[in-house]
Structure formats: structure tokens, C-alpha cells
Amino acid sequence: MTAAPIDGRARAARLRAAVAREVAAFSARAGRPPGLAVVLVGEDPASSVYVRSKGKATAEAGMCGAEHRLPADTPEAELLALVDRLNADPVIDGILVQLPLPAHIDATHVTNRIDPDKDVDGFHPVNAGRLATGLPGFVPCTPLGCLMLLREARGDLSGLEAVVVGRSTIVGKPMAQLLLAESCTVTVAHSRTRDLAGHLARADIVVAAVGRARMIRGEWLKPGATVIDVGINRTEAGLVGDVDFPSASAVAGAITPVPGGVGPMTIACLLRNTLVSAGRREGVAIDETGF
């Protein structure tokens, strides 16, 4: 068998078009576009690239992007003061502080300072709690994008066996919560898991988010499984995922490529979350079909 590719670029383009249509409707009703503030501390090259592409995507969606670039030696108190100003700014609907932060700044202090109702990254503990208890809030963009790809590939996920490999706060844990809410039977595997292959052999859905190049082998998968690869690992052979693509695509039913799978969905979901935030804050109903 050769797995069907799951085209994240195409799904992300559709999502961004749907968001842009709703942004136009929102702006007409509210008298202003949705506003997203992106904060970058220091000059980490990868982060600079991400922040630039977030700014471009924001403008293309018809939103107002405010970029704040601070020097690497900015004191934590100064960054917290900027977050306070953005929390209080009525035309800012979403705040994103790009991670990682320089070592002298405690990222938890910063994340926890963002108003949960502007936390379009979904990293604030209030939003993690809302997700765990089924309340409306914000879901981190990467797992939200994965869920959209899974729904597209499999339709109804109810009753399926899902294995999430990785237990990070940003991907693994929220992914497990989302799959549980879809009525999957969810296993979260991690570095101490004893028999990963044994778990994967039963999985209809695999979400790989471990950050280890090509760690998951095709021989471990259940034939026909749907595989979502969150990994972005730079190797001598170029950019590769956490799944060994050649062997996995011989066994899986459908699989995301790296690049061109999950990656494009993350920014599209950030735009989606910002629009949803703007709608909630201004009391403007957003048509979420297509989201």
C-alpha cells in the first residue's frame, strides 16, 4: 500500500480563505479589523522567520498585525509591562509572545501574564483548563491544525484508537484532550513508554510530536493508519519529520508530508483563533463553517 498524502498546504489555504472572508464581514460590523500583536525578544534566526511569516499571513487575511521586536537583553519586567499594555489595548484581540525566550526570562511568567481571552496561542493555564473541561477558550494552534487534518482524512473520529507520541504542553497534552473530546480512545506515549511498537500496532490514528528525526518506523504501524507528523527536524538530509516517511507510507492509509503537512496549518489556525477572539470581544457572531 502507498499512503495517501494529507495536503496541509491545500487545507491551510482553504482555512485562510475562509478566515479572510469572515475578517471582511467582522471589520464591516465592528468598524475595525481583528488585531494580532506578535512579540519577539532577541534575534533567534528561526523565530525571526516565523514572526515575519506570521506578519505576512496576518496582513493577507486583512487583519492588523502589530510587531514588537525587543532586544535580547530586555529585562523580564519590561516584557511583562508590554504584555500589560497589550492586554489593555482595545484594538488588540490576540497576543503571541514568540518562544523560546532568552534564558534570563521565565517563559511561564510571561505566558501567565497574557489575558486568557487574548491568548490565541492557547498556552495560558486557564485555556488548558478550559480545554480539559470542555469550556470554550483557545486551543494551541498546532494540535488544532492536526485535528482539522484528521477530520478531513477520517471524517468522524468517534471510537478510533489514537496514540499521541509526545507529552508536551504545546502539542501532546492538548492533542490528547482534543482527541478525547472527539470520542477517540487515547494513549499518550512518551520517552519512558516501554513498548511503543505494541501501542502503535493498535492505533488507527498516530500523532507524532517527539522531536526525534524519523523515530517512528513503518513496521510499527497498523496497516491503514492515519499518521500526522508534527516533527520538524533539521538533518544533513534536509527537513524530516518524527516519522520515517518511506517505511511509514508503505503501511499507513494516509500520512502528512514534512514539509507541507502540519506546518502550514499552524499559522492558519493562529489567524482563525485571532478572528474568533475578535468576534467574542466585540460580540460579533463569526460563521465558523470551514473552520
Per the rule left: phi > 0, alpha: psi between -120 and 50, beta: everything else, 155 is left
Q: Phi and psi (nearest 5°) for 273?
A: -65, -40
* Other Cβ atoms within 10 Å of 160 Cβ, number: 19
Cβ 5 vs Cβ 257: under 8 Å: yes
Work out the angle between the directed axes of helices 263-282 and 8-30 (0-180°, nearest 10): 20
| 128 touches ligand GUN by CB under 6 A | no
Does the annotation count 54 as an active-site position? yes
Of 93, 118, 119, 121, which residue is the catalytic one? 121
| 97 touches ligand GUN by CB under 6 A | yes
121, 161, 229, 244: which one binds ligand GUN (CB under 6 A): 121
Of 93, 98, 204, 229, which residue is the catalytic one? 98
| 110 touches ligand GUN by CB under 6 A | no
| 66 touches ligand GUN by CB under 6 A | no
Q: Is the dihedral of CA 159, 160, 166, 171 positive or negative?
A: negative
Q: Are strands 238-240 and 233-235 parallel, antiparallel or unpaired?
A: antiparallel
Q: Where are the alpha helices (DSSP H) in 61-124?
A: 76-88, 107-113
Residue 98 or 127: which CB sits closer to ligand GUN? 98
Residue 82 or 141: which CB sits closer to ligand GUN? 141
| Per-residue buried b or exposed e for 163-195, using 16+ beta carbons within 10 Å of the residue's own CB | bbbbbbebbbbbbbbbbeebebebbbbeeebee
**How far is 163 from 265, CA to CA, in rounded Å?**
20
Q: How many residues touch ligand GUN (CB under 6 A)?
A: 7
| 98 touches ligand GUN by CB under 6 A | yes
CB of 283 to ligand GUN, least distance (A): 27
What is the gyration radius of the CA atoms in the chain, in angstroms? 19
Cβ 103 vs Cβ 72: under 8 Å: no
Of 91-99, 131-139, 224-232, 246-254: span binding ligand GUN (CB under 6 A): 91-99
41, 79, 82, 96: which one binds ligand GUN (CB under 6 A): 96
CB of 159 to ligand GUN, least distance (A): 30
| 232 touches ligand GUN by CB under 6 A | no
- For ligand GUN, the nearest residue by Cβ is 99
Please spell the DSSP secondary structure of 2-63, one letter per residue.
-PEE--HHHHHHHHHHHHHHHHHHHHHHHSS--EEEEEEES--HHHHHHHHHHHHHHHHTTP
Residue 17 or 46: which CB sits closer to ligand GUN? 46
CB of 99 to ligand GUN, least distance (A): 4
Does the annotation count 156 as an active-site position? no
3, 110, 141, 149: which one binds ligand GUN (CB under 6 A): 141
Task: Identify any residues that bridge with 35 across adjacent strands, giving them in sequence order.
Answer: 64
CB of 247 to ligand GUN, least distance (A): 28
Is 212 strand, coil or helix?
coil
Residue 99 or 239: which CB sits closer to ligand GUN? 99
Which residues have a catalytic role annotated?
Answer: 54, 98, 121
Report the interface residues with ligand GUN, using CB under 6 A: 96-99, 121, 141, 266
